[in-house]
Amino acid sequence: MLKGLKLASVLAAATLALAACSSGGTTAGSASPTAATSSVKVGMAYDQDGKGDGSFNDAAYAGLSKAQKDLGVQIKEVNSGASATDASREELLTLLADGGYNPIIAVGFAYSTALGNVAVKYPKTTFAIVDSVVDAPNVGSLVFAAEQGSYLTGVIAASASKTGHIGFIGGMEIDLIKAFEAGYIQGAKSINPDIKIDSKYMGAAGDNTAWNVPEKAKTATDGMIANGADVIYAAAGGSGLGMFQSVKAAGKGHWAIGVDSDQYNVPALAEYKDFILTSMMKRVDVAVFDVIKGVVDGAPLVGVNNFDLSKDGVGYSSSNPAVKSYTAAADAAAAKIKSGEVVVGTKVQ
């Protein structure tokens, strides 16, 4: 498969992606002038939407940026692009490994096959992957108890709903996103066992367009709201924009719940912030920083690492003052999950 790709084109793409990433104020290959310079060079390979998605990739960048500032590491950022294949992803990871970057962090399960192939060729390099498990001695698999964080947003949604009817918008219909839905439903039903919950996915397993069809998400959310839903939670990547648009159009009395990052504070979503009640925080930033610090400290973070509530790996945001009315219920639920009194499932019952 690799023979059909020219490394030069991949290098060009990586250079363009790197230039785009640098426009945000971070210069690849250089450390923050306020931190001691480290010899560690970190390679970051973003998922298809890249940095600036206001969600998943930006959370990874936040961890990278903190490591650059606090630890003085050098960085290089590349982006797979919307039309990426396993072969092109493999060449990007190889490019970073050949450049001496260590650790190399792949953002998203789409890198699973490529990373599995590359890691075995570079046994002295530490790799990490977000949201997937790659079985290799030099790979840290960073997985998140999204069902636990989603349980808390379900508690908030059911507590805030005036109609007893809420909704869920998923991206690709895969186990990873179904865990978000399962936790959300379980949490909502813990507050109101009779609550009505509508769910809609933007694409079947394998359909990468599911992450970037905001118009489809808007139509689906419009339908939910027309049927009486007044709180909608989206775990759908770029498609989530359509959910925000629909909730804003519905007006006062309707709430959106974001995902991954604190979307209330995302500049690109500023026009919707008054309708974003909370966000399910998946602390990819924490995991990325831990991977980098592990290499800096000489203790690489390898194997399966589950970032759950007990590790502050998931949670909910409280930036919008409107959520304060529901935080006591959410915090009580979190305590029960941490103690083991409540076990959150990953499949919809």
Instruction: Answer yes or no: do 133 and 71 share one domain.
Output: yes
**Residue pair 74/102 in contact by the 8 Å Cβ criterion:** no
Residues 277 and 304 in one domain: no
State whether 158 and 229 are in the same domain. yes
Q: Is 8 part of any domain?
A: yes
Distance of alpha carbon 53 from alpha carbon 269, whole angstroms: 10
Within a domain: 348: no
The tally of domains found in the chain comes to: 2
Verify that 13 and 95 share a domain, yes or no. yes
Predicted confidence pLDDT, tens digits, the chain (349 residues): 333 333 333 333 333 333 333 333 333 333 344 445 779 999 999 987 778 777 778 889 999 999 999 999 999 999 988 788 999 999 999 999 999 999 999 999 999 999 999 999 999 999 999 999 999 999 999 999 999 999 999 999 999 999 999 999 999 999 999 999 999 999 999 999 999 999 999 999 999 899 999 999 999 999 999 999 999 999 998 899 999 999 999 999 999 999 988 999 999 999 999 999 999 999 999 999 999 999 999 999 999 999 999 999 999 999 999 999 999 999 999 999 999 999 999 999 8
CA Rg value for the chain: 20
Torsion of CA 347, 340, 193, 232, to 10 degrees: -60
In this structure, the answer to whether residues 24 and 135 fall within a common structural domain is yes
Q: Which domain holds residue 61?
A: 2-144+284-310
Q: In the structure encoding, which two tokens stand for residue 164, read together?
A: 């007893």
In the sheet that holds 255-260, the strands lie side by side as 196-204, 165-173, 231-235, 255-260, 276-282, 314-316
On whether both 92 and 186 belong to a single domain, the answer is: no
Residues 118 and 79 in one domain: yes
Is 322 in the same domain as 250?
yes
Q: Do 152 and 112 fall within a single domain?
A: no
The helix/strand/coil state of 239 is helix
Is there a single domain that holds both residue 244 and residue 117?
Answer: no
Residue 165 domain flag: yes
**8 A C-beta contact, residue 170 and residue 197:** no
Model-level pTM greater than 0.85? no
304: in domain: yes
**62 and 125 part of one domain:** yes
* Same domain assignment for residues 134 and 153: no
- CATH code assigned at 12: 3.40.50.2300
Residue 254's Cβ-count burial label (10 Å; 0-12, 13-18, 19+) is buried
